[in-house]
Amino acid sequence: MSMRHLVSALILCWSSAVLAQGPRPRIFDRCEVTFTPVILSQPYNPMSPDDYVQSFTTTANRHFTAGDNEESRGLIYSAVLLKHGNYRLPTELYVLDAGGSSGDVLYDRPGPVIGPELGNHGEIEARFDLGQTVNPVVMAIRIPAGTEIDPGTFQAELDVKYACNHDDERTTRGMNNRGFVIHLPVSTAVQASLVGAEPDFGEIGMLSDIDVAGAPPSTTRRDHYMRVASTGPYEVMVVSQNSWRMTATGAPTGNTAERIAYRYELLGQELDSGRPNFTPVICKASGVSGENIRLTATLTEGGMGKVPSPVYRDIVTITLTPLAANQGDAQRCD
């Protein structure tokens, strides 16, 4: 007997953002920095062996009061983007090009110190030049391979911390909670593999049906496992090419002398030639680390009197299909 696994997968992804600094503000200037939200289209696949890396452009916006003139907009203004609040996700954020600077400016987490008045690690600085109210910044996000993120639309929220250095040497600080947001798709991903050898009953040509009925499990039963890793729910379906019979050539045949029956058990269902149809089962997410699903083949007929052949076999095809995240009827399948 042999088995194939057909696995569908879907994926999804996400990103992060920017900051700024510039000339010195005056005492009556409003001190606030916001960022344009980022929406990424490239999906993140938690099952991929490669890191997820996605670049994007976002804009830091320097706010000012309605009475400001062009001259008063040119102040020393700094803004920093704090690390994501969910520290269990080992993401890294890079500045590729800030304020028109040339060359790569890559800041690994935790990143550089941003000066004595800010002094926080894991922050990135962008600068507003004289008269600037917007500052486009090219950035990139990296998610290490294997990081578990729930499927669907992931929203990364980062706090923006900013400081304004006034002409009278006074410094105004502020915090824009969740002031920078990155949206990215994370699709359900499924991987499956057979654990151990395919079931083989060995030489059964001298066993009658009565012999098989009285034989111990070591003769008639073969257990193996399917290892399934998934980030979301998935559907399991199984079919037998020969309706749960091994045949002399492996191909379907109507000659009973060339067929040997067996029973197959999967996820609480028993299948044989009299009950060949499997009812699809929806399983809960098993996680990136995965879990084993037991597969059991039990011989129910002997080979005595059958057409001799060294290749009696059946082809069992198990199909795993990822599903949308909200599946109320999903069950544990370990």
Same-domain check for residues 269 and 159: no
Domain-ending residue, one of 132, 155, 186: 186
State the total domains in the chain. 2
Domain-ending residue, one of 152, 186, 220: 186
Structural domain for 96, as ranges: 11-186
Same-domain check for residues 93 and 70: yes
CA 11 to centroid of chain Cα atoms: 6
Rounded to whole angstroms, the Cα distance separating 249 from 246 reads 9
Average pLDDT over residues 214-235: 94
For 22-35, write each residue's pLDDT tens digit: 444 443 455 677 78
> How far lies 134's CA from each of 22, 57, 127, 183, in Å?
11, 12, 10, 21
pLDDT of residue 169: 66
Residue 6 lies in a domain: no
**Closest by CA position to 154, among listed 19, 51, 7, 42:** 42
Percent of the chain residues past pLDDT 90, beyond the cut: 40
Domain-ending residue, one of 186, 221, 242: 186
pLDDT of residue 53: 86
Of 54 and 2, the structure prediction assigns the larger pLDDT to 54
DSSP H or E run through 239: strand 234-240
Judged against a pLDDT cut of 70, whether residue 69 lies above it is answered with no
Same-domain check for residues 42 and 158: yes
Same-domain check for residues 181 and 298: no
Residue 54 lies in a domain: yes
- Strands 245-247 vs 259-266: parallel, antiparallel or unpaired: antiparallel
Of 22 and 192, the structure prediction assigns the larger pLDDT to 192
Beta carbons of 2 and 313 less than 8 angstroms apart: yes
Rounded to whole angstroms, the Cα distance separating 18 from 16 reads 8
Residue 254 lies in a domain: yes
What's 71's domain CATH number? 2.60.40
Average pLDDT over residues 138-157: 82
pLDDT of residue 200: 94
Rounded to whole angstroms, the Cα distance separating 127 from 64 reads 16
Average pLDDT over residues 166-175: 65
Q: Where residue 170 falls among pLDDT bands split at 50, 70, 90?
A: low
Same-domain check for residues 251 and 289: yes
**Closest by CA position to 189, among listed 52, 24, 21, 305:** 52
CA angle 117, 118, 119 (to 5 degrees): 105
Residue 20 is classified by DSSP as B
Of 86 and 225, the structure prediction assigns the larger pLDDT to 225
Of 64 and 74, the structure prediction assigns the larger pLDDT to 64
What's 246's domain CATH number? 2.60.40.1090
Same-domain check for residues 155 and 218: no
Q: Is the peptide bond before 110 cis (omega within 30 degrees of 0)?
A: yes
Q: Give CA torsion, residues 303, 304, 310, 312, to 10 deg.
A: -30
Residue 256 lies in a domain: yes
Same-domain check for residues 30 and 73: yes
pLDDT of residue 142: 79
